[in-house]
């Protein structure tokens, strides 16, 4: 059984059909990239899965359970962690506290009003481990908004990891990064992903990043899936080259 399964998702914005019957599945442990030209509907699919947007048709199943249209926080509680395309961190808090709050989200004792020292200690342990995995330990005490843009992106990934998700969703993790920063981010992400058996859904339009990270690729074009398969298969697919790489042949 796939961990995540979308069936026939449709989302319209006025007259525009942004997502037009998209189905895709992610197996446990799979790292799947969703690619496509600008306006292909990648981000919309992403937001439909995380319930940030409600679909006009279709369903989303997670671990065999329907999660279509659940409140955003309930989807997160099921074990789906996401990052945002435009980096979302808590700017005035330390990097460590950013990740700690993320870790605390899955703790049943998160509602404690008083004390809660054990809650804080437990979430700090998770947070420090996540920071370590993203190689951010030496920046742990810095305010999040004082980190470099690349580190802020990795911080967001660390926050997602600290949520102990079963599915990690990354929305263009290298967007806006310099070439050096992208290289470093990709290396760090690859090191982190190869170690675990985390399932990942990655939206990205930097092809190099995709080929370095993904096991399988779904190609979107004008809201429809036009190809689906292993990276080298997708690479040679004629339809993809026409849509995405701009070849007229």
Partner 1 sequence: MIRFGIVAIVGALVPFAVPQYALTVIVAALIFGLFAMSLDLMVGYCRLFSFGHAAAYGLGAYSAGLILIHWKLPLLIGIALAVGITVLVAIPIAWICTRSTGVSFAMLTLAFAQLGYAMLFRFRDFTGGSDGIAGIPRPPGPFGMDWFQARNGYYFLVLGCLLGSYLLCRAIVRSPFGAVLAGIRENEAKTVALGYNTRAYKITTVVLSYGFGGLAGALYAGFAGYASPELFFWLTSGHVLVMVVVGGAGTLVGPILGAVFFVFLEHQLSQVTDLWPLAFGAIFMAFVLLAPQGIWGFLARVRKDSNAAA
In the 3-class helix/strand/coil scheme, how is the chain assigned residue by residue? CCCEEEEEEEEEECCEEEEEEEEEEECCCCEEEEECCCCCCHHHHHHHHCCCCCCCEEEEEECCEECCCCCHHHHHHHCEEECCCCCCCCCCCEHHHHHHHHHHCCCCCCCCCCCCHHHHHHHHHHHHHHHHHCCCHHHCCCEHHHCCHHHHHHHHHHHHHHCCCCEEEEECCCCCCCHHHHHHHHHHHHHHHHHCCCEEEEECCCHHHHHHHCCEEEEEECCEEEEEECHHHHHHCHHHHHHCCCCCC
Give the footprint of partner 1 on residues 62-121 (CB under 8 A). Answer: 71-74, 76-77, 81-82, 84, 88-93, 97, 100-102, 104-107, 109-116, 119-120
CB of 145 to partner 1, least distance (A): 10
CB of 141 to partner 1, least distance (A): 16
Which of residues 12 and 112 has its CB atom nearest to partner 1 in the complex?
Answer: 112
Give the footprint of partner 1 on residues 110-169 (CB under 8 A). Answer: 110-116, 119-120, 123, 159, 163
CB of 82 to partner 1, least distance (A): 6
The contact set with partner 1 (CB under 8 A) reads 50, 52, 71-74, 76-77, 81-82, 84, 88-93, 97, 100-102, 104-107, 109-116, 119-120, 123, 159, 163
């Amino acid at each position: 059984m796939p961990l995540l399964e979308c069936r026939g998702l449709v989302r319209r914005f006025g007259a525009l059909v942004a997502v037009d019957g998209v189905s895709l599945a992610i197996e446990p442990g799979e790292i799947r990239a969703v690619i496509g030209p600008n306006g292909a509907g990648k981000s919309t699919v992403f937001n439909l899965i995380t319930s940030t947007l409600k679909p006009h048709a279709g369903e989303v199943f997670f671990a065999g359970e329907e999660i279509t249209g659940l409140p955003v926080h309930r989807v997160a509680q099921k074990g789906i962690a996401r990052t945002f395309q435009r980096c979302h961190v808590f700017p005035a808090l330390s990097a460590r506290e950013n990740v700690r709050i993320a870790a605390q989200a899955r703790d049943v004792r998160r509602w404690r009003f008083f004390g809660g020292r054990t809650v804080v200690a437990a979430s700090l342990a998770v947070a420090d481990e996540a920071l370590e995995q993203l190689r951010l330990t030496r920046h742990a005490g810095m305010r999040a908004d004082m980190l470099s843009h690349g580190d802020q992106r990795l911080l967001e990934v660390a926050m997602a990891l600290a949520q102990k998700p079963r599915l990690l969703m990354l929305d263009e993790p290298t967007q806006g990064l310099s070439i050096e920063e992208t290289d470093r981010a990709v290396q760090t992400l690859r090191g982190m992903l190869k170690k675990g058996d985390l399932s990942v859904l990655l939206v990205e339009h930097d092809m190099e990043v995709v080929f370095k990270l993904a096991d399988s690729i779904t190609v979107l074009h004008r809201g429809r899936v036009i190809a689906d398969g292993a990276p080298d298969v997708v690479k040679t697919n004629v339809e993809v080259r026409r849509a995405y790489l701009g070849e007229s042949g």
